[in-house]
Every structure is written in C-alpha cells, then in structure tokens.
A and B are shown apart, each in its own frame.
Chain A
Amino acid sequence: MAGLIQAQDATSDRAEIVHVLNRITFGPRPGDVEKVEQMGLRNYIEQQLHPESIDDSAVEKDVARFELLQMSPQQLSQLFLEDTKRFIKKQKEKQAADAGQTGQGAQAVTSEATPPAGGGTMNLINQASQWRSVAAIGQLEQAKLVRAVDSQRQLQEVLVDFWGNHFNVDVKKGPDRVYKIIDDRDVIRPHIWGSFRDLLEASAKSPAMLFYLDNASNTVQRDMTPLEQEMREMYFQKTLGIADPENTTQPGEPMKTKKQGGINENYAREIMELHTLGVDGGYTQQDVQEVARCFTGWTINRMAGEFIFRPRLHDNGAKVVLGHEIPAGGGIQDGETVLDILCASPATAHHIALEMCQRFVSDNPPPSLVERIAGVFQATNGNLSQVTEAILTSPEFLSPSDYGNKIKSPLEFAVSAVRASDSTLIAQQPPPFDKLVPAMEGGGVMGRGQVADRISHRPRQSLNWHILELGEPLFACTPPTGYKEVSSTWVSPGALIERLNFAMALTGQELSDVVFDPQRILDGIDVDHPEDVLNRCVTTLLQNNITDATRKVLEKTALPAPGESQTVNPSKLIALMIGSPEFQRK
C-alpha cells in the first residue's frame, strides 16, 4: 500500500501473512501472524481450505445454546404461524371493540403478516407485538458474530458471509426471519465447498428465497376453484368494500368461473441478474418471463417449512429459455433445466469469478485473473472448493500492490477490532421478544435506524447494534443485491464518524457484550515504559503498518513531553489505532 512504511524488523513474509489473514479471516488476533509464520503460509491456507480438519468444537458448543437455531423447519414455520394467528386474533378483537370498522381483518391475512403501518394502527401493533419469532433474528445475528469472532474455521465463515450475501435474503420480510435460519444452516453452509449447481438449487428451493423474491406465489394463471372464488368475493366485498369489477354475474345466476394467479417475475429476473449470469449476461425480458413460467409451482409448504412443487400451479406449456427449447409437460424438471442452463453459461462463471475476486483480491481485480478463475469454474463444473483454492493460490491474490487495498465492511471492521484487541465476545441469549417494534417504512416488522434501540433482540451498545449503526444490519439488506463487494461503497464521512464512535465505545468498555481489557495485549509490558506500550500496540493492532502521520499522533499521545512525567493510557492509544485510517483497510 502506497505511503505505508514497513517497520525495520518486518519481513516481507510477515506482510504477506498479514495480508492473507486480513482477507481470509475476520482479521488477525494477537499471535496469529506468529502461528502462521510457524506453520507456513501455504499450509495455513491449505488448512483453511479444509475446515473439517480444524477442530472448532468450542464455538459450535457456544452456538448450540441458541435454541431457535436448532429447530426443525417445521418447528420454525409453526412458530411463525402461531405468531401470525395471534396477531390476527388480536386484530379481530380490536375490530370487535371498534364499532363502525368492520371487515378489515381479511386484509391482514392477505398481506402476509406485515402489520399495517400508520397512526391509526399503531395501537393495534402495540397489542400484537408478541412476535416470538422475531427472536430468531437475534439468535441468527448473535451466532454469526460468535463464529466470526471465535471460529477457527475463519475462511469458512468469510465464505458463508460471501455466499449469504450473494443469495441475499432480508429477514425483515415476514416469515423470512425464521426461514433464514433454515437458509443459513441447511442451504448456505453445507454447500459453500460443493458444486455451485447444488448451492443454486438449494437456494432456489429455500423457503427463505422463495418467499423473499416471491416465487412462492409465482403460478400459472388458472381457473379458480369454488373456494378461491368465494375468497375473492370476500376480498372485494369485505376488504375493499366494493363489488368485484369482473363480476358480470347477475343475481340468481350461478357464478362464472374466473381466472386466478399468474406469473411473478421477481425471482426469475434476480436469479439471472444477481445469482448467475449477471446483468450483462445476455438475457432478455422474454427470458425473464419464460424462466418465471419454468419456476411456477415452486413454492413453500407452509406447515412443514419446506420446499414443495405443486403441479397444479405449474405452467406445463413449452418454453424457450436463452435459446434452449424446453418441451411441454416438464413439470418440476422445467426449473431444474433452467438451473442447468444457467450454471453452464460462461456468463455465470465470469460473474461468480468476478465477485469472488472482488471479495478476496481487490475491488478491481485484474481481468486476466477473473478469466482464469472463470475457466476453473467452467472446467470443474462450478466446484467451489477448487474455485476458492484457485483464487487463494493465485499470484494475484498475494500481489503486494493489493495489500491494504480494500476498505473493511462494517462487519469486518467491528469484528476485526474485537479480534485485534483480543477482546471477548460474551454471546448472550437474546431476551424474549416482547417490546414494541413499530412497522416502519419498508413494511417489515423491524424498524431500522432510529428504532434500533427499542428492538430488544438488538440491545443498544451490543456489538450487533454497533454494526447496524455502522451501516450493515446483518441479514437485513433490503434490496436483493446484498451489500456490494466493492468495498469503497462503505466510505463516507458519516460512516467514518460511526467507526470512531465504535472504537471509543469498545475501548471505553461500553459494549454490553464485549469484554475489552488492554492488559490482554500488553501482557509482559511495563506500562511505565510508554514506548514499549506504543510499540506493542502498533505491532499487535496495526501489524506495524503505520504511516508517519499516525505514528506521530500516537507518539504525542503515548510519550511524555520532555520534562514531563506522564503515564500512558493504553485504552486511549488503542482507540486511536482502531480509529486510524490504517485500521479501516484490509
């Protein structure tokens, strides 16, 4: 990195190790560099590429305490359904109490547990806020942080973060707060070392994704059953309070059959744009519609919390996707064929290679590298172990010109600060969810920003809350893009202020779930020798990557002025380092 001065004793090997640790872990802990030095960098990367060879039982035991994360899909789905029922019941009670306001209940049922917002309904939401299932989000977030901070399988956790972000699901959307548990545990984690085709299929069948991008309600247009017709009448008469405009039936006549359903293009578009081909991957609007037809009937069994294919909802006509003819009558096979087509496309190989290189190498990775990695993707049928290994063993990955060339995301920044200062995360079982969470804009039950402190699963001053304040609420990116891999997007004056606030909160021991003790990194150092304190901190926290400007500031802070006696305040020194320009980079 330009402008950085390597300390005299730092060998280039050490700089290389620091670089690798910055990229494939959530930042080095004290002692990590020495550990890697001892075992050899290649061996370390090799080990991280084979997480099964690393004992991580302590962390898994820690995470096992989160009871919701252990629940079956059925249990989780039931948990949400019970909450929904409770909400509707409360709403009906409310209506009964409110004379003159009849028939509003049906709307809440159709709008999928998104409580209506607005002044008049706030009281209602007040009463109906016993959303136990929201605790699921707290447990998910806590478990992610425990693993990021403490797992020995650091590369695995980085990859889970990457792929979870690639297949972004926003837990603010209705039942996705419970479905995301299944998605993280059974969809993302088991597939990050396998074939991309398997990962993509798992995601296509993940209740979280099916609900988030609306494929769960993507159906062929078909004749309504009598029951559906009845429900439609109810919707118009009771919910909207108007006559069905399509109803041409005269009183006394038998009801005419109406059409129901139709395609929803949301998932079809995003699976091509975001998950596989990329926006320039050569698909057309016609392809979006055809892919949507192929995925009709791919939906959720709401009782079981599982994927189900419902043939009755599937469009069985012939389709053409990206020039491939898909004959009529294919049933569930239509969607599978689409997955095959997408995975085999060179555009997908390129898109995945580019994103992974942006995560691990640089915001603008060399095109030749991206092409080579895309080649590995194609040659191995999207074997993600081999693709990952190809990146991490490429000369470009180790290029010194890219050392410190990426800005840490808020998650990376906060977790790397906890790790670098050898702090301890005391993962808490989030309290049961029993407080008001207003339905803010965005429609979810989870407010963001100014209501964060009122969300009991994310208490103020928790590590989690700080990451939200830093701009990266976990599992809660609203658009399906996920957070951008291009790290410069995290740079802004406001964001920097939040980072300094975090540095001060951490070292000021204000975090509710992180124990910071400066002695842990100053073990064996005499605090009466400020220069030793300074040097230890620079080595441990900044890995000796420090500019003259920063060093001067730190010296002024740490070292007594001539003729003065001054004792050094290590916490202050550490805060300055965590807030320094150097620490924002990786």
Chain B
Amino acid sequence: MNINRRIFLKQGALSFICLGSGPFWGPGFLRQAAFAADLGSSMSNKILICIFQRGAVDGLSMVVPYGDPFYYQNRQEISVGAPSQAAGDAGALDLDGYFGLHPAMAPLLPLYKQGHLAAIQACGSPNASRSHFDSQDLMESGVDEDKSVQEGWLNRLLGCCPEDAAKKTAFRAVSMTSVVPRSLQGPEDSLAIRDLDTFGLAGDSSTLLAGPTGTTDGFESMYGSAVDTVLHGTARESFDALDLLKQARTAHSQPSNGAVYPQGNFGRNLKQIAQLIKANVGVQVAFAEVDGWDTHANQGGAKGQLATRLGSFAQGLAALHQDLGDRMADVVVVTMSEFGRAVHQNGNRGTDHGHGTCFFALGGSVKGGKVYGDWPTLSPDKLFQDRDLAVTTDFRDVFGEICAKHFGVPMSAMPQLFPHYAVDAQRFRNFYTA
C-alpha cells in the first residue's frame, strides 16, 4: 500500500472517531475520572512542549550580549542598549552582568530570576545552508545533513517510550497546527489541530456522520472500515480520548491563575495546549509554532517590528507558565529556531540569515536563572564563516538532555533518536536538574 495512502487512512481513522460521539457514551465525568486515574497510575506524566520560531529568530536580540563590544559595532542602528539608568526601559534587562534580555521580553524576567527559565545561547545546527526550509526540516528530523531521514525526532522520541505507548491516547502527541509538523511525522500517531475550539464537525451533522443506523455508518465507517484491524483498535481507544476533548473544552476553557495570553494564533495555541494538559487527556508531547522572525528589513531595536513579536512571544510563554501553575513541575518547554541571523546588520536595518541563535528552556525541573553555553564572542576571528555567531551547543545536545533526563531515555537509545550524531552526556549543558 502506498505510504501516503496509509498515513491518510490511519490519521483519518483517528480523527473520525470523534464524530457523533456524545450520545453513545456514558456520563462524561465518570469516564474522565476513570481515564485520569488510569493515566496517573501507569503512564509517565512528563510533558514536553516544543515551540518552533519559524523564520530564524535573532538570538542576539533575545539575549543581548551587551558585554560584547563587537555587538554594538555590528549593530549600530538595531542594537539594544546595555542595562543602565540612562537607557531606562530601552535597555536590556540584565541577566548575568554580560547578557541582557530584550526589554520587550520583560514578562520572562521573573521566571528567569526565580530559576524556572534558562537560555542556551549560541545554539543551533552545524548545517550552514542558511535555507529556512532545509534547516527547519533537518532540525525537526534531528539531523544536520541527511535529508533521507523523514521522521521527526519527536516521533522517534515517542517510539522510544514503549511502556508509555501501551497506554497511549490520541492526545499523546498534539500539534497546534493545520498539518503535522516534520518533528512529529513518522510511525507514531499524532494529532494536528489548528484550533481546539473549532475542531470537530460543525452544525447538526450527527445523522449524516452517523448514518441512519447509528455510528457504524456514515463518514466514520467509510474511513474506519478501510483501516486494518490493528489500527481499528487504536481508533477505538482514541474515540474515548477524542470524546474527552469535549469535556476538556468546557472544563478548562478559561486560563487559570489569572494568566493572560497574547492575542493571535500563538497565544491561542499555547492556551489550548494548557487546556489539554489540565484536562489530563494524556498529552506527552505538544508542539506549537510561531512565525515572523525573518527580519531582513527594519527589524528595530528596543522597539520596532521584532520587539513587538518578541513581546508577544514572551507574554505567551509567561502566560503558559502561570496557567499551568503546579503542573509545570512535570513540564519542560523548549524553544527552537532553524538558525540565527548575521551579526552585522544589513543595508536595511535588518539582518540576513546567520548561524547560531538562542534556545530557551522553561519548567519546574529546569535549572534556570542562567545563560548556558560557551560564548564564542562576536570578535571577527571567532565568527562562523566570518559573519555569523558560531554554534557552540549542538541542538541535539539540548534535545538529547531533555530526552534523557525528562523522559528517561537511555543513552543507548540516542543513536536511534539522533542518527549520525553521537549525543554525549559530557556535552550536556546541564540546564535540567538530576
């Protein structure tokens, strides 16, 4: 059978079981309680939330190396000033006496100071193509060069946890996107939902979906019966979980702890990830993306286009942290981008494609309050290909540390997770406790 067809039917079946569900199942709360107990007892409750900043974010603007004189030499019109009274709220927010957070990212400063947020500066992939699309695909596949690797690293991570897979739900891996991102593509099931609020079929469609004789006819069975028996079993299980979605939707539609998400898709995506986590539907890996980082022109400094986007980005992360409250003990959020931007500003007060950038890790087990990684400096002789921030932390050492410490993936499984790369615990930055 053609691979595309297989994926289509498999995922189709997954989604179809939510059709016409409500009336055919017992009281929701009973099922939900049973489900939650089930998950709690037998399944790892560790959760990873991955956020991809698509378009290559300028790491030098997020975590400003104000202590590096070459920064100001290269960024005369688009730099963020050093923290000082004179600079006021236009200056960076000091992190460690050398680096400062972009002022628009102020919502994250308390999390850094409380030790929940860590930055990994000069991080990225050794690949130097500077192509957004290639670099995203490769990073999401967990490789730096081999384009034949089709599955995503998150999908392989799911495959590395068989004991969890035995109890998996349809929500084990969720992406708040309209298509399954490369990171999650592969043999393990995952769900792509653009918007939780509109996911599901509109209007009074139950008879059409269900058909005249109940749930066994209609759309559902048209797809469902096309699937082999193994998948049918999965589908049945998922039916439960997708029905739970309805409860989750209403039970947790408001953010907790006074969290306020920013307007826009990114804020909504994070809010809905939190909703699913709070509803205990078995989320293990969640994925969201945010674009608009390809700042070739007029990116601005302390204010401007990039600042606006960074503000929304930081507000989103801070809101997620607040909303999840105690649950953050089990959660790690990691942010990533395909590469960074050139050190020197270009002819349009913007920046062209570069190399190293900055990742963030946020969570209860993160040893925050620190900027991790070796700082190569922006000295001309230290630049990658004479123009870009060098990469001193390979992205796979960040991902690998999370896999190993958060999910307990044995080091012996790392070659499967990250082909062609020797993940080495010696190189871990140790931003994660234990």
Q: Which residues of A contact B (CB under 8 A)?
A: 1-3, 107, 110-112, 114, 116-119, 214, 217-219, 221, 235, 240-242, 245-246, 261-266, 269, 273, 279, 285, 288, 363, 405, 407, 438, 440-443, 447-450, 471, 478-479, 481, 487-498, 500-501, 504-505, 508, 510, 547, 549-550, 552-553, 556-557, 566, 572, 575-576, 579-581, 584
Contact = CB atoms under 8 A, between A and B. Distances in A.
Contacts of A442: 291-292
Nearest to A558: B212
A69 B128 CA distance: 42
22 contacts: A111-B304, A116-B308, A119-B263, A217-B297, A240-B90, A245-B72, A269-B353, A405-B2, A440-B264, A443-B305, A443-B308, A450-B265, A479-B55, A479-B133, A488-B7, A492-B178, A494-B193, A496-B15, A497-B199, A547-B226, A576-B218, A581-B222
Given A266-B352, A471-B194, A478-B291, A494 B178 contact: yes
A414 B321 CA distance: 40
B266 A492 contact: no
B8 A491 contact: yes
Interface string B249-291: 0000000000000011110100000000000000000000011
A441 B291 contact: yes
A493 B12 contact: yes
Contacts of A566: 212
Interface stretch (B60-68, B342-350, B365-373): B342-350
Q: Which 7 A-B pairs have the closest CB atoms?
A: A262-B347, A493-B15, A492-B192, A471-B178, A265-B352, A441-B264, A549-B225
A504 B311 contact: no
Contact of A556 (B8, B212, B304): B212
A285 B130 contact: yes
A547 B345 CA distance: 59
B217 interface: yes
A247 B380 CA distance: 23
A550 B304 CA distance: 55
B309 to A, nearest CB: 7
B298 A110 contact: yes
B296 interface: yes
A493 B11 contact: yes
B298 A285 contact: no
Nearest to A573: B208
Contacts of B209: 500
Nearest to A219: B347
A485 B359 CA distance: 31
B39 interface: no
Nearest to B19: A500
B23 interface: no
A264 B207 CA distance: 57
A573 to B, nearest CB: 10
B219 interface: yes
Contacts of A219: 347
Nearest to A111: B298
Given A112-B298, A491-B8, A495-B178, A441 B266 contact: yes
B261 to A, nearest CB: 12
B50 to A, nearest CB: 17
B129 interface: yes
A114 B291 CA distance: 16
Interface string B201-232: 11101011101110001110111011000000
Contacts of A584: 8
Given A246-B76, A490-B179, A508-B203, A576 B222 contact: yes
Nearest to A571: B208
Interface of B: 1-5, 7-9, 11-12, 14-16, 54-55, 72, 76-77, 79, 81, 90, 128-134, 178-180, 191-195, 199-203, 205, 207-209, 211-213, 217-219, 221-223, 225-226, 263-266, 268, 290-292, 294, 296-298, 301-305, 308-309, 311-312, 345-348, 350, 352-353, 385, 387
Given A2-B1, A479-B132, A576 B178 contact: no
B217 A557 contact: yes
Given A118-B311, A449-B195, A279 B131 contact: yes
- Identify the interface centre among B5, B129, B294, B301: most chain A CB within 10 Å of its CB: B5
A481 B131 CA distance: 10
B113 to A, nearest CB: 24
B134 A279 contact: yes
A498 B12 CA distance: 12
Nearest to A553: B222
A221 B179 contact: no
Contacts of B179: 471, 489-492, 495
A401 to B, nearest CB: 9
A298 to B, nearest CB: 13
Contact of B263 (A440, A448, A481, A557): A440
B223 to A, nearest CB: 6
A120 B318 CA distance: 20
B15 A242 contact: no
Given A443-B305, A500-B201, A581 B218 contact: no
Contacts of A262: 345-348
- Identify the interface centre among A442, A450, A497: most chain B CB within 10 Å of its CB: A497
B191 A443 contact: no
Contacts of A112: 297-298
B192 A494 contact: yes
A494 B90 CA distance: 42
A67 B18 CA distance: 45
A317 B214 CA distance: 75
Contacts of A363: 4
A1 B5 CA distance: 10
Given A449-B194, A492-B180, A504-B205, A2 B5 contact: yes
Contacts of B195: 449-450
B4 A581 contact: no
A217 B131 contact: no
Contact of B303 (A214, A240, A443): A240
Contact of B346 (A3, A265, A405, A547): A265
Contact of A285 (B12, B199, B385): B385
A2 B133 contact: no
A487 B8 CA distance: 11
A116 B221 CA distance: 49
Given A443-B305, A556-B217, A264 B265 contact: no
Contact of A581 (B9, B134, B263): B9
- Identify the interface centre among B195, B211, B222, B294: most chain A CB within 10 Å of its CB: B222
Contacts of A494: 15, 178, 191-194, 199
A214 B296 contact: yes
B178 A245 contact: no
A504 B76 CA distance: 57
A285 B130 CA distance: 8
Contacts of A119: 263
